[in-house]
Amino acid sequence: MAADFARLVEENLSAKSHDFATLPGGRLRTGNPTWFTSGLERIGYNGITCAQFSSEKLDLQIKEALDPFRRTLTPLTWWVGPLSQPANLGRVLQAHGLTHNRDMIGMAAELDRLSEFTPPDLDYAFEPVTTPSELEMWMPLFAATFGIPAAEIPLTLDIFGQLSFAPDSEWRHYAMFADGGVVATGSLHLGAGVAGLYNIATRPDYRQHGLGTAITLLIYEEAKKMGYRIGALQTTYPNALRLYHRIGFEVYCKFGIYQRGWV
Protein backbone atom coordinates (compact mmCIF):
# COMPACT_ATOMS: atom_id res chain seq x y z
CA MET A 1 0.00 0.00 0.00
CA ALA A 2 2.79 2.47 0.86
CA ALA A 3 4.46 1.90 -2.53
CA ASP A 4 1.11 2.40 -4.28
CA PHE A 5 0.52 5.71 -2.51
CA ALA A 6 4.06 6.89 -3.33
CA ARG A 7 3.50 6.04 -6.99
CA LEU A 8 0.16 7.89 -7.09
CA VAL A 9 1.68 11.00 -5.50
CA GLU A 10 4.40 11.05 -8.16
CA GLU A 11 2.05 10.29 -11.05
CA ASN A 12 -0.23 13.15 -10.05
CA LEU A 13 2.70 15.56 -9.75
CA SER A 14 3.95 14.46 -13.16
CA ALA A 15 0.51 14.85 -14.75
CA LYS A 16 0.30 18.37 -13.35
CA SER A 17 3.70 19.24 -14.79
CA HIS A 18 2.91 17.69 -18.17
CA ASP A 19 0.03 20.14 -18.57
CA PHE A 20 2.58 22.77 -19.54
CA ALA A 21 3.29 20.81 -22.71
CA THR A 22 -0.22 21.69 -23.93
CA LEU A 23 0.69 25.38 -24.15
CA PRO A 24 1.49 26.80 -27.62
CA GLY A 25 4.95 25.58 -28.59
CA GLY A 26 4.95 22.92 -25.87
CA ARG A 27 5.97 19.30 -26.30
CA LEU A 28 5.64 16.11 -24.23
CA ARG A 29 8.00 13.20 -24.75
CA THR A 30 6.91 10.04 -22.95
CA GLY A 31 9.27 7.17 -22.30
CA ASN A 32 12.47 6.91 -20.31
CA PRO A 33 13.07 9.64 -19.42
CA THR A 34 9.77 11.49 -19.67
CA TRP A 35 10.23 15.17 -20.36
CA PHE A 36 8.20 18.21 -21.39
CA THR A 37 8.65 21.74 -22.64
CA SER A 38 6.18 24.62 -22.61
CA GLY A 39 7.53 26.97 -25.27
CA LEU A 40 8.43 29.37 -22.44
CA GLU A 41 11.90 30.19 -21.15
CA ARG A 42 10.85 29.66 -17.54
CA ILE A 43 12.70 27.14 -15.41
CA GLY A 44 9.58 25.77 -13.71
CA TYR A 45 7.65 25.23 -16.94
CA ASN A 46 10.04 22.75 -18.59
CA GLY A 47 11.55 19.62 -17.19
CA ILE A 48 12.11 15.94 -16.67
CA THR A 49 9.60 14.13 -14.47
CA CYS A 50 10.79 10.54 -14.40
CA ALA A 51 14.01 8.77 -15.28
CA GLN A 52 14.96 5.18 -14.59
CA PHE A 53 18.62 4.89 -15.52
CA SER A 54 21.25 2.24 -14.98
CA SER A 55 24.21 2.93 -12.71
CA GLU A 56 26.64 1.68 -15.35
CA LYS A 57 25.61 4.25 -17.98
CA LEU A 58 24.34 6.99 -15.71
CA ASP A 59 26.52 9.87 -16.94
CA LEU A 60 25.76 9.11 -20.58
CA GLN A 61 22.02 8.79 -19.94
CA ILE A 62 21.91 12.09 -18.05
CA LYS A 63 23.80 13.83 -20.86
CA GLU A 64 21.39 12.44 -23.47
CA ALA A 65 18.39 13.45 -21.35
CA LEU A 66 19.69 17.02 -21.10
CA ASP A 67 20.55 17.31 -24.79
CA PRO A 68 17.09 18.54 -25.97
CA PHE A 69 17.24 21.32 -23.38
CA ARG A 70 20.90 22.13 -24.02
CA ARG A 71 20.38 22.46 -27.79
CA THR A 72 17.59 24.98 -27.36
CA LEU A 73 18.99 26.64 -24.20
CA THR A 74 15.76 25.77 -22.42
CA PRO A 75 15.97 26.05 -18.61
CA LEU A 76 14.54 23.06 -16.79
CA THR A 77 13.52 21.45 -13.54
CA TRP A 78 14.28 17.76 -12.92
CA TRP A 79 12.04 16.00 -10.37
CA VAL A 80 13.70 13.03 -8.65
CA GLY A 81 10.98 11.01 -6.94
CA PRO A 82 10.30 7.49 -5.71
CA LEU A 83 10.08 6.07 -9.24
CA SER A 84 13.47 7.50 -10.24
CA GLN A 85 16.56 5.32 -10.47
CA PRO A 86 19.32 4.90 -9.39
CA ALA A 87 19.28 6.04 -5.78
CA ASN A 88 22.21 8.44 -6.31
CA LEU A 89 20.62 10.17 -9.32
CA GLY A 90 20.21 13.51 -7.55
CA ARG A 91 23.85 13.66 -6.49
CA VAL A 92 25.06 12.87 -10.01
CA LEU A 93 22.74 15.49 -11.51
CA GLN A 94 24.63 18.11 -9.54
CA ALA A 95 27.86 16.95 -11.18
CA HIS A 96 26.14 17.71 -14.52
CA GLY A 97 25.48 21.32 -13.59
CA LEU A 98 22.05 21.08 -11.97
CA THR A 99 21.45 22.86 -8.67
CA HIS A 100 19.52 21.27 -5.84
CA ASN A 101 16.66 23.71 -5.31
CA ARG A 102 14.73 22.01 -2.51
CA ASP A 103 13.14 18.78 -1.32
CA MET A 104 9.41 18.16 -1.13
CA ILE A 105 7.62 15.65 1.07
CA GLY A 106 4.96 13.58 -0.71
CA MET A 107 1.83 12.75 1.29
CA ALA A 108 -1.40 10.87 0.59
CA ALA A 109 -4.62 9.83 2.31
CA GLU A 110 -7.89 8.05 1.72
CA LEU A 111 -10.36 10.93 1.59
CA ASP A 112 -13.00 9.13 3.63
CA ARG A 113 -10.54 8.99 6.52
CA LEU A 114 -9.75 12.69 6.73
CA SER A 115 -10.74 14.52 9.89
CA GLU A 116 -14.16 16.11 10.15
CA PHE A 117 -14.55 19.66 8.89
CA THR A 118 -14.87 22.35 11.57
CA PRO A 119 -15.92 25.78 10.25
CA PRO A 120 -13.37 28.55 10.90
CA ASP A 121 -14.23 31.22 13.44
CA LEU A 122 -15.20 33.96 10.97
CA ASP A 123 -17.85 34.64 8.37
CA TYR A 124 -16.66 33.22 5.09
CA ALA A 125 -17.74 31.96 1.68
CA PHE A 126 -16.11 29.08 -0.18
CA GLU A 127 -16.43 29.23 -3.95
CA PRO A 128 -15.05 27.54 -7.08
CA VAL A 129 -13.12 29.70 -9.54
CA THR A 130 -14.92 29.24 -12.84
CA THR A 131 -14.21 32.33 -14.96
CA PRO A 132 -11.14 34.34 -16.00
CA SER A 133 -12.31 37.32 -13.92
CA GLU A 134 -12.60 35.11 -10.83
CA LEU A 135 -9.13 33.72 -11.52
CA GLU A 136 -7.83 37.29 -11.68
CA MET A 137 -9.21 37.89 -8.18
CA TRP A 138 -7.66 34.59 -6.98
CA MET A 139 -4.21 35.26 -8.42
CA PRO A 140 -2.74 38.03 -6.17
CA LEU A 141 -2.80 35.98 -2.95
CA PHE A 142 -1.39 32.93 -4.73
CA ALA A 143 1.36 35.05 -6.35
CA ALA A 144 2.32 36.75 -3.09
CA THR A 145 2.48 33.45 -1.21
CA PHE A 146 4.57 31.64 -3.81
CA GLY A 147 6.95 34.50 -4.53
CA ILE A 148 5.84 35.36 -8.06
CA PRO A 149 7.16 38.85 -8.94
CA ALA A 150 4.59 41.47 -9.92
CA ALA A 151 6.06 41.65 -13.43
CA GLU A 152 5.40 37.91 -13.88
CA ILE A 153 1.77 37.95 -12.74
CA PRO A 154 0.23 38.73 -16.17
CA LEU A 155 2.10 35.79 -17.74
CA THR A 156 1.18 33.50 -14.84
CA LEU A 157 -2.45 34.54 -15.10
CA ASP A 158 -2.43 33.85 -18.84
CA ILE A 159 -0.88 30.40 -18.34
CA PHE A 160 -3.31 29.47 -15.58
CA GLY A 161 -6.19 30.65 -17.72
CA GLN A 162 -5.14 28.54 -20.69
CA LEU A 163 -4.68 25.45 -18.53
CA SER A 164 -7.71 25.92 -16.29
CA PHE A 165 -10.49 26.67 -18.73
CA ALA A 166 -9.72 24.23 -21.54
CA PRO A 167 -12.60 21.77 -22.09
CA ASP A 168 -10.53 18.81 -20.88
CA SER A 169 -8.79 20.65 -18.04
CA GLU A 170 -7.92 18.64 -14.94
CA TRP A 171 -7.54 21.82 -12.86
CA ARG A 172 -10.10 23.08 -10.34
CA HIS A 173 -9.39 26.26 -8.35
CA TYR A 174 -11.13 27.43 -5.17
CA ALA A 175 -11.17 30.51 -2.97
CA MET A 176 -12.38 31.49 0.48
CA PHE A 177 -13.75 35.01 0.87
CA ALA A 178 -14.09 37.10 4.03
CA ASP A 179 -14.60 40.80 4.62
CA GLY A 180 -14.97 41.38 0.89
CA GLY A 181 -11.68 39.81 -0.22
CA VAL A 182 -9.91 36.54 -0.97
CA VAL A 183 -8.38 35.18 2.23
CA ALA A 184 -7.39 31.66 1.12
CA THR A 185 -6.76 29.82 -2.13
CA GLY A 186 -6.27 26.24 -3.22
CA SER A 187 -6.43 24.02 -6.28
CA LEU A 188 -7.02 20.44 -7.32
CA HIS A 189 -5.25 18.68 -10.14
CA LEU A 190 -7.14 15.52 -11.06
CA GLY A 191 -4.37 13.75 -12.95
CA ALA A 192 -3.64 10.02 -12.64
CA GLY A 193 -7.02 9.40 -11.04
CA VAL A 194 -5.94 11.20 -7.88
CA ALA A 195 -7.10 14.45 -6.26
CA GLY A 196 -3.84 16.36 -6.01
CA LEU A 197 -3.83 19.43 -3.77
CA TYR A 198 -1.86 22.49 -4.87
CA ASN A 199 -1.60 26.27 -4.40
CA ILE A 200 -2.75 26.47 -0.77
CA ALA A 201 -2.32 30.04 0.46
CA THR A 202 -3.80 32.13 3.25
CA ARG A 203 -3.56 35.85 3.84
CA PRO A 204 -1.02 36.56 6.62
CA ASP A 205 -3.52 38.63 8.62
CA TYR A 206 -6.00 35.72 8.60
CA ARG A 207 -3.65 32.90 9.59
CA GLN A 208 -5.00 32.42 13.11
CA HIS A 209 -8.42 31.27 11.94
CA GLY A 210 -7.67 27.74 10.72
CA LEU A 211 -8.15 28.68 7.08
CA GLY A 212 -5.43 26.33 5.79
CA THR A 213 -7.15 23.36 7.38
CA ALA A 214 -10.58 24.61 6.35
CA ILE A 215 -9.88 25.16 2.68
CA THR A 216 -8.00 21.85 2.44
CA LEU A 217 -10.95 19.89 3.84
CA LEU A 218 -13.51 21.86 1.80
CA ILE A 219 -11.56 21.24 -1.41
CA TYR A 220 -11.33 17.54 -0.67
CA GLU A 221 -15.08 17.43 -0.02
CA GLU A 222 -15.45 18.70 -3.59
CA ALA A 223 -13.12 15.94 -4.79
CA LYS A 224 -15.21 13.31 -3.01
CA LYS A 225 -18.34 14.64 -4.72
CA MET A 226 -16.56 14.08 -8.05
CA GLY A 227 -15.86 10.48 -7.11
CA TYR A 228 -12.21 10.72 -6.03
CA ARG A 229 -11.07 8.51 -3.17
CA ILE A 230 -7.34 9.27 -2.83
CA GLY A 231 -5.81 12.65 -2.07
CA ALA A 232 -2.17 13.54 -2.72
CA LEU A 233 0.00 16.58 -2.04
CA GLN A 234 3.57 17.74 -1.63
CA THR A 235 4.93 20.24 0.84
CA THR A 236 8.25 21.84 1.71
CA TYR A 237 7.16 23.53 4.93
CA PRO A 238 7.28 21.88 8.39
CA ASN A 239 4.17 23.74 9.57
CA ALA A 240 2.20 22.50 6.57
CA LEU A 241 3.52 18.99 7.12
CA ARG A 242 2.13 19.05 10.65
CA LEU A 243 -1.20 20.45 9.44
CA TYR A 244 -1.68 17.76 6.81
CA HIS A 245 -0.61 15.00 9.19
CA ARG A 246 -3.11 16.26 11.75
CA ILE A 247 -6.03 15.97 9.31
CA GLY A 248 -5.11 12.47 8.17
CA PHE A 249 -2.29 12.53 5.62
CA GLU A 250 0.78 10.33 5.90
CA VAL A 251 4.25 10.73 4.40
CA TYR A 252 5.02 8.26 1.62
CA CYS A 253 7.92 9.70 -0.38
CA LYS A 254 10.31 12.57 -1.03
CA PHE A 255 11.10 14.52 -4.18
CA GLY A 256 14.40 16.21 -4.91
CA ILE A 257 14.03 19.30 -7.10
CA TYR A 258 17.01 20.07 -9.35
CA GLN A 259 17.27 22.95 -11.81
CA ARG A 260 19.51 24.24 -14.55
CA GLY A 261 19.72 27.18 -16.94
CA TRP A 262 22.18 27.59 -19.80
CA VAL A 263 23.36 31.20 -19.64
Same domain, 98 and 154: no
Same domain, 93 and 32: yes
Q: What is the CATH number of the domain that holds 242?
A: 3.40.630.30
Each residue's pLDDT tens digit, 5-49: 999 999 999 999 999 999 999 999 999 999 999 999 999 999 999
Decide: helix, strand or coil at residue 207: coil
Q: Does the pLDDT of residue 208 top 90, yes or no? A: no
3-state per-residue secondary structure call for 51-63: CECCCCCHHHHHH
pTM: 0.96
Same domain, 120 and 239: yes
- Angstrom distances, CA of residue 114 to CA of 108, 117, 222, 234: 11, 9, 13, 17
Residue range(s) defining the domain that contains residue 160: 111-253
Sequence-ordered list of residues with C-beta below 8 angstroms from that of 247, at least 6 positions apart, any chain: 114, 115, 213, 216, 217
Same domain, 249 and 132: yes
User: Total domain count for the chain?
Assistant: 2
- Angstrom distances, CA of residue 119 to CA of 74, 171, 213: 46, 25, 10
Same domain, 115 and 63: no
Same domain, 58 and 116: no
- If you average pLDDT over residues 231-255, what whole number do you get? 94
The answer to whether 16 touches 199, Cβ cutoff 8 Å, is no
Same domain, 61 and 93: yes
Each residue's pLDDT tens digit, 126-143: 999 999 999 999 999 999
Same domain, 162 and 83: no
User: What is the structure's pLDDT at 11?
Assistant: 97
Same domain, 14 and 86: yes
Same domain, 161 and 47: no
Same domain, 143 and 244: yes
Q: Does the pLDDT of residue 144 top 90, yes or no? A: yes
User: What is the structure's pLDDT at 1?
Assistant: 80
Of 9, 222, 226, 31, the C-alpha closest to 109 is 9
Q: pLDDT confidence of 263, banded at 50, 70, 90? A: confident
Same domain, 119 and 154: yes
